[in-house]
Chain A
Amino acid sequence: NAGVTQTPKFRILKIGQSMTLQCTQDMNHNYMYWYRQDPGMGLKLIYYSVGAGITDKGEVPNGYNVSRSTTEDFPLRLELAAPSQTSVYFCASVGTGTYEQYFGPGTRLTVT
């Protein structure tokens, strides 16, 4: 199993550009999550999904969108990038029944 994979690893965006952060898991987990982590800060939940076709907002959803068309994939879309979205983005999935969370390696995004 590859676990949770994220692409790209790094990205620099100009203000106003858009992009999609990809997240894929091969563990057949229903629950998936997107977090952002600012320097020296904790994790903040952006969006989560409890299964294909079901998504819900977390603590900081503004400026982001998600979709969950398959169990494996949970992409995060940034529209009209702003400097405040400069952060490290982590995707995670949760084991069914165990509720143990597995993280991807992260995407480091800079908006200038």
Chain B
Amino acid sequence: KQEVTQIPAALSVPEGENLVLNCSFTDSAIYNLQWFRQDPGKGLTSLLLIQSSQREQTSGRLNASLDKSSGRSTLYIAASQPGDSATYLCAVIGGNYGQNFVFGPGTRLSVLP
């Protein structure tokens, strides 16, 4: 059974810092990995999707990497801003038809002005 963990559970940094969020999974037979952002009381917003054949994806100040063999993904946020404060979740996509999504518990990020 696929299990997904995220470290750290919570992180507080001053504005302007670069930071890394970690996502680990136990079964490397995955289709894709997706990073989401969730603001308090809101739904999930997709940030980046990394297909299993890719090593990384970039969008603005965000860069996500994927190492299937070691069961790890990282989300790098450059020059953090208070508006980046949210919970960040990763989801691993597997199953026979890519129908299984297993979510990590999330990392709660606070960026202090």
- Residues of A whose CB lies within 8 Å of any CB of B are 31, 33, 41-43, 45, 48, 50, 90, 92, 94, 98-106
Contacts and interface: CB of A to CB of B under 8 A. Distances in A.
A43 B98 CA distance: 18
Contacts of B43: 90, 103-106
A75 to B, nearest CB: 18
Contacts of A33: 101
A52 to B, nearest CB: 15
Most buried by A among B32, B97, B103: B103
B99 A42 contact: no
Contacts of B104: 42
Contacts, number: 50
Contact of A99 (B42, B44, B98, B105): B98
Nearest to B102: A45
Nearest to B106: A42
Interface in B66-103: 89, 91, 93, 97-99, 101, 103
Contact of A31 (B32, B42, B49, B99): B99
Contacts of A99: 31-32, 34, 49, 93, 98
Contacts of A106: 42-43
A105 B42 contact: yes
A30 to B, nearest CB: 9
B46 interface: yes
A50 B1 CA distance: 20
Contacts of A103: 36, 43-46
Nearest to B94: A99
A100 B106 contact: no
A34 B44 CA distance: 13
B105 A101 contact: no
A95 to B, nearest CB: 9
